[in-house]
Amino acid sequence: MTSPLLSALARALALALVVPAVAHAAPADSPRQPEAASPTTLDRVIVEATRLRTVPAFDTPASTATVDLSGERSNASADVSEVLRGIPGLLARDRQNLAQDTQLSIRGFGARATFGVRGLRLYADGIPASMPDGQGQLSHFSLAGAERIEVLRGPFSALHGNSSGGVVSIHSADGQAGDPWRLRATVGSDGTWTGAARLLGGNDIVGYNFAVSRLDTDGWRDHSAARRDVANLKLGVDLGGRRKLTFVLNHVDIPEAQDPLGLTAAQMRDDPRQAVANAYVFDTRKSVRQSQGGAIYEHGLGDAHALRLSAWGGDREVMQVLPIPAAPQRNPLHSGGVIDLDNRYAGFDARWSWSGSLAARPLELSAGASGERQRQRRRGFENFVGDALGVRGALRRDERNEVETDDLYAQAWWQFAPRWSLLLGARHSEVGFTSSDRYVAEGNPDDSGRVDYAETSPVAGITFAPSEHLRLYASVGRGFETPTFNELSYRSDGGAGLAFGLRPAVSDNHELGLKWRTPTGGLLEAALFRADTDDEIAVATNVAGRSSYRNAGSARRQGVELALLQPLGDAWDLQLAATQLEAEFRGGAAAGGGTDMAGRIPGVPERHAFARLQWQGGPWSAAFEAEAMGDVMVNDAGSESAAGYGLLHVEASRRWPTAAGPVRVFARVDNLLDREHVGSVIVNEGNGRFYEPGGGRGWLLGFEWEFDRR
């Protein structure tokens, strides 16, 4: 570690160890007594991402976070980035560009993604939202019907298989008799409005949660208008005898979202709201439509055993127009300026678990198998017909691609002593990519091929409980990440066909952590972590919306995370989160040939922090938020960077009871001081257009009505 980072880690760890001691010395007549806060209720919080049925998250040797979405929210609730701001180690960036989706990274993993989510595992109501090749999207996460979002960071993410540098899982509420229905609407700056409805309810046998929402915006930037429609259905059936069947259906439609593209530093200074000229010339845009469905069957066998069987399938269609001039497309190997993708995918997971004892101490075992298939039709077309630009022209690429994954996994948790517990696990994954080239022409040979990857990922962690309210833990593990189809699709040498020379990245992860429940009902967590990666997958070139990738030798991500949730008296609550992350290439050529790289990994800030102070006074509530971000390198050469920034946000709401149910009106102002800043970066953009501006001062007014049907 460098000296500055060592110093920061030492200060953070000292804070994590000293604060509990100070709080234990608090006077007995403090504003909120421990019994009033009921801290023991934390023991009942089971985070499903850990795949433990009986062990609360507080007792696991892993960094977890749960975002409660069941209460009142004073934002548009249209983008996941709005609700993931206060989690240390996690960055969810709204790119002011619905054509490219939210940019998500955890401890630096996933930061290279030019669109969508890579390197992380996503789930929606227990169904994978990451496709078998590891490519994920957040656009179909339904916040309208959501109850919570779970986040898992660190070594135990590897038990979720390929591309699991972290796990994000959204869960819809289970409908019960007497649940209220909810209508919600917001209107805001830049011609933005949202509408949502959640129909929640059921009886002793069937529970339902049907949610629909629409986001429509003119966009903060020029040429960034978009619309997104999301529908989500969760239907649970209690079959009796500890048997339950759950159906999940989800649909998202984003028709022709305009893409303003990135800006150069000079363009940012001149006018951050502008779109580049080629965005208009080629009418750059992207359309996405996805439908998926799944079923989960849970069956308890006696008091100790349980089976969980799930199956799912779906289809995702993507059409994107890129701003590539006609001249480069004269190359017979060029695949055109219009991308047309049709992904069909399906999978299953079967898991057995058992809760009992070993040597008279609690023991939980689980084991399972999963398999997934993805079939992709990838076509490329010229983006011109004669003098007409931004239209579908002649065919230039036609492939039938397929990926198959087969996994086996097992996990054991054992409390081998009154204050000690052990968690062990392993997962073996086999991933195969196949491409069948259907476009063979003069100067463009048959580029069919296949590549197979396999990896076993072991993990282990130990937890020590010196008191009822304090946990110390250590964990280690190995994870791996194969390239996705999108990363294989373009070779860095400009040749045709898939980049079969790319190797998977393998990471060794280590973590030391502390979890402490404060006497006044709060929670403090601290973690030191390091991930050493071989064959790091990095951006090679990124021109006009098309990216190629390379293996870049070794990399290291290390740092510290702190999180605090603390009531301040009866009316105030404080939330703090801070991360210091050193992410750098370590040099050394990648196996099988690659690039020897050194320096900071682009797209990853060294520091980021978040604070929220909330007040609740009867029917009124208000909150103040502050977030700060360090500078971010934009390319491997380290020649440019996006400056750090600090933003302030404020919100307020008022609730009125009515005979038909409570009505709430709320307002929010983001970027209160109207600071110009870079919201996200496009790593290694070949034209120097690295920068995606963050939004200026924006306002929002909202209305929510929960009506009681009893």
* Residue boundaries of the structural domains of the chain: 13-168+198-669+679-707
User: In sequence order, what are the beta bridge partners of 560?
Assistant: 528, 580
pLDDT mean over 343-363:
96
Is residue 289 scored above 90 in pLDDT? yes
**pLDDT-derived band at 589, boundaries 50, 70, 90:** low
Phi-psi map region of 615: left, alpha, beta (phi>0 left; psi -120 to 50 alpha): beta
In CATH terms, 13-168+198-669+679-707 corresponds, of 2.40.170.20, 2.60.40.420, 3.90.79.10, 3.40.50.720, to 2.40.170.20
Is residue 128 scored above 70 in pLDDT? yes
Is residue 17 scored above 70 in pLDDT? no
Measure the CA angle with vertex 697, ends 692 and 701; round to 5°: 120
pLDDT at 49: 84
Which phi and psi angles does 220 have, rounded to 5°?
-70, -35
DSSP for 405-437 reads EEEEEEEEEEEEETTEEEEEEEEEEEEEEEEEE
Is residue 303 scored above 90 in pLDDT? no
pLDDT at 98: 87
pLDDT at 444: 86
For residue 434, the tally of other CB atoms under 10 A from its CB is 16
pLDDT mean over 500-524:
92
Is residue 10 scored above 60 in pLDDT? no
For the CA atoms of 705, 75, 613, 678, the dihedral, rounded to the nearest 10 degrees, stands at 180
d(CA 703, CA 664): 6
For the chain, give the percent of residues with pLDDT over 90: 69
Predicted confidence (pLDDT) per residue in 71-127, tens digit: 888 898 888 889 999 999 999 988 888 888 888 899 999 887 767 788 899 999 999
Burial of 548 (0-12, 13-18, 19+ CB in 10 A): buried
User: Residue 181 has which token pair?
Assistant: 């229905």
In 3D space, the residue among 683, 697, 643, 695 whose CA is nearest the CA of residue 262 turns out to be 683
Q: Which of 62-71, 402-411, 451-460, 478-487 shows the lowest mean pLDDT across its residues?
A: 478-487
For residue 442, the tally of other CB atoms under 10 A from its CB is 6
End-to-end CA distance of the chain: 61
Residue 139 is which amino acid? S
Is residue 38 scored above 50 in pLDDT? no
Rg (CA), the chain: 25
- According to DSSP, residue 351 is labeled E
pLDDT at 431: 94
Is residue 357 scored above 90 in pLDDT? yes
pLDDT at 6: 36
For the chain, give the percent of residues with pLDDT over 70: 90
- According to DSSP, residue 263 is labeled B
Three-class secondary structure of residue 401 per DSSP: strand
**pLDDT-derived band at 33, boundaries 50, 70, 90:** very low
pLDDT at 586: 85
Is residue 324 scored above 70 in pLDDT? yes
Average pLDDT of the residues of the chain: 88
Residues 6+ apart with CB under 8 A from 493: none
d(CA 194, CA 212): 11
In 3D space, the residue among 70, 23, 99 whose CA is nearest the CA of residue 467 turns out to be 23
Is residue 646 scored above 70 in pLDDT? yes
DSSP for 664-687 reads EEEEEEESTT----EEEE-TTBTT
d(CA 539, CA 519): 48
pLDDT at 318: 95
pLDDT mean over 433-448:
89
Is residue 655 scored above 90 in pLDDT? yes
pLDDT at 106: 93
Residue 660 is which amino acid? A
pLDDT at 546: 67
User: In sequence order, what are the beta bridge partners of 312?
Assistant: 294, 347
Q: Which of 218-232, 304-318, 672-686 shows the lowest mean pLDDT across its residues?
A: 672-686
DSSP for 97-148 reads -TTT--EEEETTBTTT-SSSB-SSEEEETTEE-B-TTS-B-STT--STTEEE
Beta strands in 8-101 (DSSP E): 63-68, 90-93
**pLDDT-derived band at 502, boundaries 50, 70, 90:** confident
**pLDDT-derived band at 5, boundaries 50, 70, 90:** very low
pTM score, whole prediction: 0.89
**pLDDT-derived band at 596, boundaries 50, 70, 90:** low
In 3D space, the residue among 329, 337, 251, 335 whose CA is nearest the CA of residue 286 turns out to be 337
Is residue 543 scored above 80 in pLDDT? no
For the CA atoms of 593, 594, 598, 604, the dihedral, rounded to the nearest 10 degrees, stands at -140
pLDDT mean over 557-577:
95
In 3D space, the residue among 573, 668, 652, 579 whose CA is nearest the CA of residue 612 turns out to be 573
pLDDT mean over 544-558:
81
Distance of CA 340 to CAs 32, 313, 334, 546, 695, Å?
A: 58, 20, 15, 13, 30
473 or 165: whose pLDDT is higher? 473
**pLDDT-derived band at 710, boundaries 50, 70, 90:** low
User: In sequence order, what are the beta bridge partners of 227?
Assistant: 216
Is residue 587 scored above 80 in pLDDT? no
Which phi and psi angles does 482 have, rounded to 5°?
-85, 160
pLDDT at 468: 93
Can you give the length of the chain in residues? Answer: 710
For the CA atoms of 235, 237, 243, 248, the dihedral, rounded to the nearest 10 degrees, stands at -20
